[in-house]
Amino acid sequence: MLTLHVTRQLARKIEEAEGRNHSIFTQTLDLLNTEVQACCSRIGGGYAAYAGLDSPLTQAFGFGFQKSFDERVLDEFEAFYAERDVAATIEVCHLADLQLAQALVARGYQIAEVSNVLALDLRSGLSATTDDETVVSECRQEGAYRFARLVSKGFFEDDEMATQFHELFAVFCHQPNSACFTAALDGEWVGGGAVFFVDEIAILASASTLLKHRGRGVQKALISVRVKEAQDRHCDLAVVVTEPGTISQHNVEKLGFRVLYARTKFMKKHEPESS
């Protein structure tokens, strides 16, 4: 079994893949919904994405890996979000230049979230297995809204909140670098998840199970199928992001994923200039 060694170079590769995936998402969203005017800007080695006023994908990735930190990059980054009247939000890898986090704190950013980045070396030959109870199927573009409704409901029991995420998850099915899957028990759709491919990296994301069907191996099945899909596409690495110490983290760790590093999400609300 191969062991992943955590290096700044590996972290940079993963953060670059995450940023590029956000760029592909915004391009796809802009084709499907021109009113949002979704876009992604390459700034100082990082990616600043805009996917709508309330979208969780309106944020930045991949900053802090240049040879030397230049705080002027943050001026450009903040201007990008100020032009769109949204909070400046940035995910910072803990292996990035420490001066980035220090500069954000000095500028008045607040910590909004922390997460763990876990990975599985697909060259190890490991492949998770599932039982016959859960049937997992790939969801094509024509099933995008079924997938979106299912995954949204798995995350949010409140129908109004779930509805707000329908478009987000539906776009995943249209991304040219994605594969989306639904899981069924006894003929009933009970969960779903997506995987995105950027070069040799597979990013597993947005997996959920309906509340009443949890604890029956649905997530194991969804993880296993997406890992196999990544192996079939000759990816070297599978990556997933979870909140620290959650069931989601436990689920992927049981299948061989290990924590590589952590991220901190920094946010500063946009305050319009007074006239």
* Residue 215 resides in a domain: yes
β-strand partners of 49: 40
Whether residues 170 and 184 share a domain: the answer is: yes
Whether residues 74 and 169 share a domain: the answer is: no
What's the structural domain count of the chain?
2
Instruction: Say which residue the tokens 């990296």 belong to.
Output: 201
* Residue 90 resides in a domain: yes
The pair of structure tokens assigned to 148 is: 């979106």
Whether residues 80 and 156 share a domain: the answer is: no
Whether residues 102 and 185 share a domain: the answer is: no
**Tens-digit pLDDT string for the chain (275 aa):** 456 889 999 999 999 999 999 999 999 999 999 999 999 999 999 999 999 999 999 999 999 999 889 999 999 999 999 999 999 999 999 999 999 999 999 999 999 999 999 999 998 765 556 566 899 999 989 899 999 999 999 999 888 888 889 999 999 999 999 999 999 999 999 999 999 999 999 999 999 999 999 999 999 999 999 999 999 999 999 999 999 999 999 999 999 999 999 999 999 997 766 54
pLDDT in the model for residue 126: 59
Residue 261: CB atoms within 10 A of its CB come to 19
User: CA 109 to CA 264: how far, in whole Å?
Assistant: 11
Residue 125: CB atoms within 10 A of its CB come to 9
CA angle 71, 77, 83 (to 5 degrees): 140
Whether residues 236 and 141 share a domain: the answer is: yes
Q: Which of 161, 164, 165 is nearest to 194 (CA)?
A: 165
User: CA 48 to CA 87: how far, in whole Å?
Assistant: 12
* Residue 169 resides in a domain: yes
* Residue 275 resides in a domain: no
Whether residues 142 and 111 share a domain: the answer is: no
User: CA 259 to CA 261: how far, in whole Å?
Assistant: 6
Q: Are 8 and 92 in contact (CB under 8 A)?
A: no
User: CA 165 to CA 161: how far, in whole Å?
Assistant: 7
User: CA 259 to CA 248: how far, in whole Å?
Assistant: 12
pLDDT in the model for residue 1: 44
| Rg of the chain on CA atoms, in Å | 19
pLDDT in the model for residue 124: 75
pLDDT in the model for residue 275: 45
Distance from chain centroid for Cα 119: 13
> Tell me: the pLDDT tens digits for 20-79?
999 999 999 999 999 999 999 999 999 999 999 999 999 999 999 998 899 999 999 999
Domain of residue 109: give its range: 8-116+262-268
Domain CATH code at residue 179: 3.40.630.30
The pair of structure tokens assigned to 133 is: 């109870």
* Residue 273 resides in a domain: no
User: CA 74 to CA 180: how far, in whole Å?
Assistant: 35
Whether residues 153 and 32 share a domain: the answer is: no
* Residue 1 resides in a domain: no
pLDDT in the model for residue 160: 84
* Residue 3 resides in a domain: no
Whether residues 47 and 168 share a domain: the answer is: no
Whether residues 77 and 139 share a domain: the answer is: no
* Residue 2 resides in a domain: no
Whether residues 169 and 94 share a domain: the answer is: no
User: CA 190 to CA 186: how far, in whole Å?
Assistant: 10
Whether residues 136 and 220 share a domain: the answer is: yes
Whether residues 234 and 152 share a domain: the answer is: yes
14: CB partners within 8 A, 6+ apart: 93, 117, 119, 201, 237, 239, 260
